[in-house]
Amino acid sequence: MISFEVLTLFPDIFRSFLAESLLAKAAKKGLISVNLVNVRDFTFDRHRTADDRPYGGGPGMVLKAEPVALALESILSGEAPRPLIAHLTPSGRTLDQALVRSLAQEPRIALICGRYEGLDQRVIDRFVDLELSVGDYVLNGGEVPAMAVIEAVARLIPGFLGHPESSRDESHGYGLLEGPLYTRPRVWRGEAVPDILLSGNHAQIAAFRLAESVAKTRRVRPGLLENPGLVDDVARALGEAPQGGKIKAQCPPGPGQGGEARVTPCPRKK
């Protein structure tokens, strides 16, 4: 059996999805279980606020760190094995069948459904093992991608499909990935927002964000940088044209980028 823990602001979106067809039958047979965790239950104001404005300015809102962290800690506090924690985001590793096969080996998976402009980076750094995308497009939130993950993984569980051979025989803009996001509080659990985002210097903030964006793209989706004019065009648009068209950023190698049938996509956070 695989257990899914789904952290979301909108749990009702999942109810009809889980109550129909093969997923409902799988739950009745004990092949899967899905626990819906409402992130708003871990807020403390009367409006149940789970988002705030981004540091450094910009449009939209960012999911706050504390409600999501408390929701995660609520599922980590029991005796069950620690789940693989995945964050659904357009800037994550693209879900493919090789990764689905890997996820199907996990006994427990927690899925954080992103919303708004994204999730405070400090929660990602502290808890998240894997950032997952279902494609190079943007949805209103991570709920639909989470459904895609649940269904894709569940189909590989023995007994889910009528015929074991069914899953075996099946087939399988412009820009950079978004860098880290931060919102209030300025210091969260001893971790501070980068000073540059508080400087008020819009040119330096833009350069910082561009460097972080390039670093994440190189680490997570290097193929997006194969367009020879891409980096030059982005730098020129911001008025930052480094010599030779190179944008310098620290780019540590990304974990779990192999195509093996059984891979732990990312090392677990402690």
* pTM given for the model: 0.75
pLDDT for 63-114, tens place per residue? 999 999 999 999 998 888 999 999 999 999 999 988 999 999 999 999 999 9
The pLDDT score that the predictor gives to residue 239 is: 56
Burial of 183 (0-12, 13-18, 19+ CB in 10 A): buried
Contact 37, 72 (CB under 8 A): no
Predicted local confidence at residue 255, as pLDDT: 38
Length of the chain: 270
pLDDT at 175 (0 to 100): 62
Which pLDDT value is given to residue 169?
A: 41
> Residue 115 carries which DSSP code?
B
Q: What is the mean pLDDT of residues 212-218?
A: 88
- Cα-based angle 174, 115, 227 (whole degrees, multiple of 5): 15
Q: In the sheet that 32-38 helps form, which strands lie side by side, from edge to edge?
A: 32-38, 2-8, 108-113, 84-94, 130-133
Beta-carbon contacts of residue 36 (< 8 Å; ≥ 6 apart): 6, 8, 11, 14, 15
pLDDT for 167 = 52
In the 3-class helix/strand/coil scheme, how is 195-208 assigned residue by residue?
A: HHHHCCCHHHHHHH
The number of C-alpha atoms within 13 Å of 213 and in the hemisphere containing its C-beta is 17
Q: Which CATH superfamily is domain 170-270 in?
A: tRNA(m1g37)methyltransferase, domain 2 (1.10.1270.20)
The pLDDT tens digits for 2-50 are: 999 999 999 999 999 999 999 999 999 999 999 999 999 999 999 999 9
pLDDT, the chain, mean: 85
Mean pLDDT within 182-211: 95
How would you classify the pairing of strands 84-94 and 108-113? parallel
Q: What is the Cβ-side half-sphere exposure of residue 249, based on CA atoms within 13 angstroms?
A: 21
Select the more confidently predicted residue: 263 or 147.
147
Residues of each domain in the chain carrying CATH 1.10.1270.20: 170-270
Q: How far is CA 206 from CA 12, 212, 263, in A?
A: 38, 10, 36
Tell me if the bond preceding 145 is cis, omega within 30° of 0: no
d(CA 193, CA 185): 9
Alpha-carbon span 92 to 135, nearest angstrom: 9
- Beta partners for 73? none
**CATH homologous superfamily of domain 2-162?**
SPOUT methyltransferase, trefoil knot domain (3.40.1280.10)
Q: What DSSP letter does each residue of 126-194 carry, written as one string? A: HH-SEEEESSSS--SBSHHHHHHHHHHHHTTSTTSSSSTHHHHH-------------BS-SEETTEEPP
Chain region(s) in the chain for CATH 3.40.1280.10 = 2-162
Lowest mean pLDDT among 183-192, 210-219, 232-241: 232-241
